[in-house]
Amino acid sequence: MKSSKVILKNVYIFAYHHVCKKRLPSAARVTPGQFEKHILILKELNVQFFSLDELFSLPSESSQKRVAITFDDGFSCVYENAFPILEKYKLPASVFLVTHFMGQKSAWDVNFGSRRPHHLSWAQVKEMAGHKFTFGSHSHTHPDLKSNSCNTIRRELKTSKELIEDKLGEPVNLLAYPFGRFSSQTKQIAKSLDYKLGFTLIPESTIEEPFQIPRFGVYLFDLNLFFKSKLELNLLYGLEQYKLRIINFLSSGTIFVKNMNQ
């Protein structure tokens, strides 16, 4: 059940997936040019950038918008295209890894006949870890953590956490739920495995619970005006929230197709 206590206000966490030049049959991507323009918009708005491991050292309220950049799935295009841009502006970011597919093609995703994108290799992850990047779990094989058994959820989260900790030599405290989906059991299991924070794809700027932290998804059709609306309380902001909730609902279609193919 969601706590009524507000922990942090005016916090905007953005969730990207692909940052690539190639055409993919997915709206969960932006071009490198789009991504850099988003960074420039944020800088023009004078936001405070922070790393997720700094989240709860932030003041609970601030007149300045606080922003974190995250990437789900850990695709290699993040290393190729987003990493150089973030280095250019000396900004932190966090990547959530699907550990079973490190250095491999994304066999977990539904494919519509296009070439499957590759995931980051451990060598790329280690290089990025030395440059203001933090890494968290996005599970081991990217299942739906809301509908699976408790044993499956525990295995997914435990295996992923241990693999990242073994490769990087640091504790892993961050978890982003695949498809943004979770249950009360998911949160309880994550907490029992010593995760500290769980991230959703619920588009809100107020944090009320450590294992239900909202994020704003960013997509191909997020042109400059729509991207800016994610941070501004106007009519477009309301439309933006509605749009993101529809996208999150439609992501269950991927889960349905995967289940049909099993």
Domain architecture of the chain: domains with CATH: 11-261 (3.20.20.370)
pLDDT-derived band at 222 (thresholds 50, 70, 90) equals confident
**Per-residue pLDDT tens for 132-184?**
999 999 999 999 999 999 999 999 999 999 999 999 999 999 999 999 999 99
pLDDT score of 231 more than 90: no
For 188-203, the pLDDT digits (tens) are: 999 999 999 999 998 8
How many angstroms separate the CA atoms of 208 and 38, rounded? 26
- Residue labelled with tokens 């309301």: 238
Distances (CA, A) of 6 to 12, 60, 176, 204, 213: 15, 8, 20, 12, 11
Residue 258 has pLDDT above 50, yes or no: no
Of 65, 35, 60, 63, the residue nearest 50 (C-alpha): 65
- Identify the residue whose tokens are 């941070």: 231
Residue type, 246: I
Give the C-alpha separation, 19 to 108, whole Å.
19
CA dihedral defined by 90, 96, 101, 105, rounded to 10 degrees? -60
The residue count for the chain? 262
Q: What confidence tier does 253 reach under pLDDT thresholds 50, 70, 90?
A: very low
pLDDT tens readout for residues 84-140 = 999 999 999 999 999 999 999 876 565 544 577 899 999 999 999 999 999 999 999
User: Tens digits of per-residue pLDDT, 43-58?
Assistant: 999 999 999 999 888 8
